[in-house]
């Protein structure tokens, strides 16, 4: 099968390796340029990312046309006569003429068990929603986001210690394992697409600053899931008086004695706090604390050691 890959980051890198290892022909790659400045060509030459390095190592032709919906991409891709276009992480909704251009199919690789967790960052949303498993779905592309018929789907487990980066690594590795089998099925006409169940569909938009605010009037599990899901992309934070305290990671800590009021500082260390939550017998240890601004780590340690007291409360804005 003649394949064009459209994507960037770990997902596209994994798909690229999976396609090559499967023996199918990778005839071109359109890579998303996340910087998009006049220095981009120089950065690519002097400081290539891992995906760019893999492309050069395997001598795969790049399709340098920018937008996947541009006339330049359509003409170049059509001239390559692809059987399949595979999309693995992209920032645009593909136009119908691009979707219909390859001989066999235009396929998206989405890192969730569709129809659940459609949208731009399922690595975060599966954790925030407390899922115990996620997965990888290869589906036919359509005009609706992540809504086309499923071609191949496999589950990935989520452990209690996983953060969003861990989920991304698991899903991209699973996608690498799956893509060769998918192409074989398409080549042999041994792949029967099935429609997604719209009644079970969930969609989560891009993360915003509202997703990063800690509400201590929630359960310990909910707060921990929020931090491990969101903080890989944007730093979760809480408020102490007028200081914005950013959080790197968290743990759930069981309590021997029930606590009545959420948000109470129970214990403090150099760069972490144990804080009560809505869960009577469970608290949260928030770790790697930094204050917003210059020298945030040092200033946070000074705040914890000199100003903050056990028994004080953190604010939630709720």
Give the per-residue pLDDT at 71.
95
Buried residues in 26-54 as b, exposed as e (16+ CB within 10 A):
bbbbbbbeeeeeeeeeeebeeeebebbeb
Q: Tell me the per-residue pLDDT of 116-156, one tens digit each, with 9 for 90 and over.
A: 999 999 999 999 999 999 999 999 999 899 999 999 999 99
Give the per-residue pLDDT at 132.
97
Q: Tell me the per-residue pLDDT of 59-114, one tens digit each, with 9 for 90 and over.
A: 999 998 889 999 999 999 999 999 999 999 998 999 999 999 999 999 999 999 99
Answer whether residue 35 shows pLDDT above 80: no
Residue 51 pLDDT level (bands cut at 50, 70, 90): confident
According to CATH, the topology of domain 2-203 is Rossmann fold (3.40.50)
Give the per-residue pLDDT at 139.
98
Give the per-residue pLDDT at 271.
85
Give the per-residue pLDDT at 39.
53
Residue 260 pLDDT level (bands cut at 50, 70, 90): confident
Answer whether residue 316 shows pLDDT above 60: yes
Give the per-residue pLDDT at 47.
56
Q: Pick from 206, 226, 210: which is nearest to 218 by CA?
A: 226
Residue 41 pLDDT level (bands cut at 50, 70, 90): low
Q: Tell me the per-residue pLDDT of 261-279, one tens digit each, with 9 for 90 and over.
A: 999 999 998 889 999 999 9
DSSP annotation string for the chain: -EEEEEE-HHHHHHHHHHHHHHT-EEEEEEE--SS-STTHHHHHHHS--HHHHHHHHTTPPB---S-TTSHHHHHHHHHT--SEEEEES-SSPPPHHHHT-SSSEEEEEESS-TTTTEES-HHHHHHHTT-SEEEEEEEE--SSTT-SPEEEEEEEE--TT--HHHHHHHHHHHHHHHHHHHHHHHHTT----B---GGG--EE----GGGGB--TTS-HHHHHHHHHHHTTTS-EEEEETTEEEEESEEEEEE-SS--SSTTBEEEE-SS-EEEE-SSTTEEEEEES-EESSTTHHHHHHHIIIII--TT-B-B---
According to CATH, the topology of domain 209-307 is 3.10.25
Domain ranges of the chain: 2-203, 209-307
Give percent of the chain above pLDDT 70: 94
Residue 49 pLDDT level (bands cut at 50, 70, 90): confident
Between 268 and 35, residue with greater pLDDT: 268
Give the per-residue pLDDT at 66.
84
Residue 168 CB contacts under 8 Å (≥ 6 apart), including other chains: 10, 11, 111, 123
């Amino acid at each position: 099968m003649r394949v064009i890959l459209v994507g960037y980051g770990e997902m596209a890198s994994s798909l690229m390796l999976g396609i090559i290892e499967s023996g199918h022909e990778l005839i071109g790659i359109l890579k998303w340029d996340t910087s998009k400045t006049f220095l981009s060509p120089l950065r690519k030459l002097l400081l290539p990312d891992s995906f760019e390095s893999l492309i050069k190592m395997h001598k795969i032709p790049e399709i340098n046309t920018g937008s996947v919906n541009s006339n330049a991409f359509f003409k170049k891709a059509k001239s390559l006569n692809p059987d399949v276009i595979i999309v693995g992480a992209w920032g645009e909704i593909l136009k119908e003429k691009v979707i219909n251009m390859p001989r066999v199919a235009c396929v998206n690789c989405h890192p969730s068990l569709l129809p659940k967790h459609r949208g731009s960052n399922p690595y975060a949303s599966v954790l925030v929603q407390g899922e115990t498993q996620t997965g990888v779905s290869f589906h036919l592309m359509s005009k609706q986001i992540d809504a086309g018929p499923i071609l191949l789907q496999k589950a990935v487990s989520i452990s209690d210690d996983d953060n969003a980066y861990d989920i991304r690594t698991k899903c991209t590795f699973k996608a690498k394992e799956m893509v060769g089998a998918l192409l074989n099925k398409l080549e042999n006409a041994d792949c029967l697409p099935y429609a997604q169940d719209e009644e079970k569909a969930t969609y989560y938009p891009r993360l915003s600053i509202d997703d990063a605010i800690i509400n201590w009037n929630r359960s310990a599990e909910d707060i921990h899931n929020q931090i491990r899901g969101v903080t890989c992309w944007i730093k979760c934070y809480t408020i102490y008086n007028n200081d914005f305290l950013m959080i790197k990671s968290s743990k759930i800590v069981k309590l021997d004695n029930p606590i009545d009021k959420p948000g109470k500082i129970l214990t403090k260390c150099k760069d972490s706090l144990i804080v009560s939550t809505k869960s009577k017998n469970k608290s949260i240890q928030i770790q790697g604390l930094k204050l917003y601004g210059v020298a945030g780590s040092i200033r946070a340690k000074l705040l914890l050691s000199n100003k903050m007291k056990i028994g004080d409360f953190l604010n939630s804005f709720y």
